[in-house]
Amino acid sequence: MTKVVLAKIEHNAPDAAKAQTVRDSRGKAHRVRVVDVNSDRFGDDLLSVFRANVSRARKQNRQLPVAAE
Please report, for the chain, the start and end positions of each structural domain, with discontinuous segments joined by +. 18-62
CB 43 within 8 A of CB 16: no
Q: pLDDT exceeding 90 applies to what percent of the chain?
A: 26
pLDDT tens, residue by residue, 2-25: 788 777 766 665 656 788 899 999
Asked if pLDDT for residue 28 goes beyond 80, the answer is yes
pLDDT the model gives residue 69: 64
In whole angstroms, what is the distance from residue 25 CA to residue 40 CA? 34
Q: What is the mean pLDDT of the chain?
A: 83
Q: Rounded to two decimals, what is the model's pTM?
A: 0.61
Q: pLDDT exceeding 70 applies to what percent of the chain?
A: 86
